[in-house]
Amino acid sequence: MQDVRDLLLAIERVVTADVDRQRSRDAALPGATRVAPALPWTHRTGRPAKGDWREIFRNRRLDAAPAETVFERNLGHDRAVYFFVGSCAYPEGLAVLLFSFTRGSVARSTFNPYDTGFLKHVAIPRRPADTWDDTAKTQHIQSTMGWTRDLHAFGGPYLAAHFRDPIDYVRRPQDGVPDFEPYHGLGGGDRRAWTIEARLHDDVTIEPNGQELLEIWLEDQSLLRELPVDFRRYARIKRDGMTLAESVAQRIERKISEVSP
């Protein structure tokens, strides 16, 4: 686990090595510091192999499952509920839940500036490494991992260091890339290589009258009947001609514009 000051220093070293990138970061930083705190956390579900997504609403919780990678387990994180910050970067599933968590409600949670599961098979160093085995991957996760209580402090500089317009972090498609290469040195062909992943290491209770659940986005209208009645007011259906991820991205962009003009 890294102190947020060390995470920011790692970004700063990469940014200041490139004059154009430093100028872009300086111009983007005021907007990025407004955008980052407004980004909801998204949890995508409904992939058949992952179980019955309707159980989430019947049980009114997201169960912390066994950690997806040996790297996380090596670092002592045995269970997790996975979220992407400000994106629906996981490309499969029928539903997307959007949350707004307070610092108090994410006390036992961590983040990395990429999908840790993506590291298992796809994400690779852009520059050749001596070794890229499980030990090296565990060390990479550890060197880029922070507590999500520090995510707002990290998020603004991170967005500004990678996008000339910070809202492009939300707009870029699944196969998109930032304007500047990820500071952490990984590539891999889609946005999971640079979208921030947050993990809660306990079960997450979901209440229809709570403060944290914002919206439930569904792949089609027929799924609305699968929700308990008291959750239906949170439901939104993806827009015609758009993917579920595109619909959610458009919604997040609109919500950000409402709170951080």
pLDDT in tens, 77-130: 888 999 999 999 988 899 999 999 865 566 678 999 999 988 877 777 887 767
Torsion of CA 97, 163, 240, 236, to 10 degrees: 20
Q: Residue 122: what pLDDT?
A: 75
CA angle 239, 36, 44 (to 5 degrees): 40
pTM of the model: 0.94
Residues in the chain where the model's pLDDT stays below 50: none
Distance CA 12, CA 112 (A): 17
Q: Residue 61: what pLDDT?
A: 93
Q: How distant is the alpha carbon of residue 178 from its chain centre? A: 15
Q: Residue 214: what pLDDT?
A: 94
